[in-house]
Amino acid sequence: MKLQTKITLALVAFGLVMLAFAAPAVFAADKVDPVADAKAFKKFFYDKFPKLKPEDFVNGPYSMDADLYKQWQEKEQFPPYEFSLEMGKEMFSKPFKNGKTYGDCFPNKGIGIRQDYPYFDEKEGKVITLELALNRCREANGEPAFSYVRDEMAALTAYMAFTSRGKPFDIKIPNDPRALEAYEKGKEYFYTRRGQLNFSCATCHVQSPGEKVRTEVLAPALGIVNAMPIYRSEWSGMGTTSRRFTTCNSQIRGVPLTPQDDEYRNVEYYLSYVSNGLPISGPGARP
Amino acid sequence: MRLGVFTSVMVLLLAGATSALAASEDDYKAAYAAAEAANKQAASLRNQWTTTASTLAAAKKFADGGDFEKATASAKEAEALAKASIFQATSEKERWRDLEIR
């Protein structure tokens, strides 16, 4: 046998072996099952905290600690996010320079729709979060985008969440392999350890909800995005979902990605989907 | 006489050892470049650590102050941190499933 033929045969054999290894990965991707995931996710938390009603999970650490719960009820008499809510309401109704408003960019004029975000845009092939949709609305109307981690974005999303309070999360995953891939990537991001502390999102919010990191009671992952945006006493101000994700990363000594990068959009998609059925409670307040 | 020779030899040996251990600017530059390259690879894996960046900054500060010994040590530490973050990102590609709720 000529040397060239031997090399060709060896390459073909190598290719077949590689295909055999690749096949299970393709199969695994075919088995992405968000419905089963959400069911298992909820069961895990319901079993872990049998005394809580499902809707209690959207109250984060307050549902985990009796003293905190009392403090929170008192706080809710004069909620610390109220100033942001007022600001958001005013911003939302004030027309852009071209005369249009945020309402013109959204279904139902933007009222009572928080529970439908994020959604998967089949034209673009990507996840669209509420924060991203708001900035796109601004840019489409000739206005500059807001920072994803500052007060203006928090105020707008606070108002939109407030008009949707009590409505159950209703995140849809269309029958599109790209949507399933985005969901799966969001799940992977959620469970992947990162940063020098070697923490994943799940380390705190699946393995340790109800326990303390320093003085803070950790919130359960179930329902965690239902309360966004949040006023945090620690921040002495409001925080968007983007702010929450980026600060989580830096707290574990990981360099945060840019707000609204695909990873953050996908993990919000995943977390929102597995909380489907639980009511929107934002804006929230946290210690 | 014997003691004098012995002392001279020891002094020469010590001087040689010290000059072998002391890091030069070139050593620092090589260590810094290696650390930066590893940190770039971590960035491509979307998994840089804040401590790599701060240790690289510390290395640069030592070098700016002319302390190439500490600058080289910091740069080497930064490279080790960057390599650990690469290892983490690579191993987590499969290991994340261990944490998944099923």
pLDDT of residue A183: 98
- Model pLDDT for residues A190-213, shown as the tens digit of each residue: 999 999 999 999 999 999 999 998
Torsion sign (Cα): A147, A148, A150, A151: positive
B69 in contact with chain A, both atoms CB, cutoff 8 A: no
B47, B96, B97: residue with CB nearest A254: B47
Nearest Cα of chain A lies from the Cα of B51 at a distance, in angstroms, of 7
Euclidean distance between CA atoms A2 and A6, whole angstroms: 6
Euclidean distance between CA atoms B48 and A256, whole angstroms: 8
ipTM: 0.84
H/E segment holding residue A216: strand A216-217
Residues comprising chain A, all counted: 287
Look up A248 and say whether it is catalytic: yes
| Range scoring the smallest mean pLDDT among A22-36, A158-172, B74-88 | A22-36
Backbone angles phi, psi at A168, to 5 degrees: -70, 140
pLDDT at B6 over 90: no
- Rounded to an integer, what is the distance from CA A223 to the centroid of its chain? 10
Residue A99 contacts by C-beta under 8 Å, 6 or more apart in sequence? none
Euclidean distance between CA atoms B68 and A28, whole angstroms: 51
Euclidean distance between CA atoms A272 and A206, whole angstroms: 15
B95 in contact with chain A, both atoms CB, cutoff 8 A: yes
Determine the residue of chain B that is closest to A221 in CA distance.
B101
Euclidean distance between CA atoms A167 and A226, whole angstroms: 10
Token pair recorded at residue B6: 């012995």
Name the residue type at position A70: K
Euclidean distance between CA atoms B82 and A33, whole angstroms: 35
pLDDT at A22 over 50: no
Euclidean distance between CA atoms A16 and A39, whole angstroms: 38
Q: Which residues of B touch A40 (CB under 8 A)?
A: 101-102
E-strand ranges in chain B read none
A40, A44, A193: residue with CB nearest B88: A193
Share of chain A above pLDDT 90, in %: 78
- Model pLDDT for residues B39-98, shown as the tens digit of each residue: 999 999 999 999 999 999 999 999 999 999 999 999 999 999 999 999 999 999 999 999
CA-based nearest residue to A126, from A137, A135, A118: A118
Residue from A137, A201, A204, A248 carrying the catalytic annotation = A248
CB atoms closer than 10 angstroms to residue B10: 10
CA-based nearest residue to A40, from A175, A191, A147: A191
CB atoms closer than 10 angstroms to residue A180: 18
- Please name the residue ranges forming H helices in A49-81: 66-75
For residues A56 and A63, which has the higher predicted lDDT (pLDDT)? A56
Give the CA distances from residue A43 to residues A40, A211, A279, B47, in Å, rounded to whole numbers and listed in that order: 5, 19, 17, 31
- Model pLDDT for residues B61-77, shown as the tens digit of each residue: 999 999 999 999 999 99
pLDDT at A12 over 60: no
Confidence class of residue A230 from pLDDT cuts 50, 70 and 90? Answer: very high
Inter-residue long-range contacts of A222-225, CB under 8 Å, 24+ positions, other chains counted: A222/A41, A222/A42, A222/A45, A222/A57, A222/A274, A222/A275, A222/A278, A223/A57, A223/A58, A223/A59, A223/A60, A223/A275, A223/A278, A223/A281, A224/A60, A224/A271, A224/A275, A225/A268, A225/A271, A225/A272, A225/A275
- Model pLDDT for residues A237-258, shown as the tens digit of each residue: 999 999 999 999 999 999 999 9
Pairing of strands A230-232, A284-286: parallel
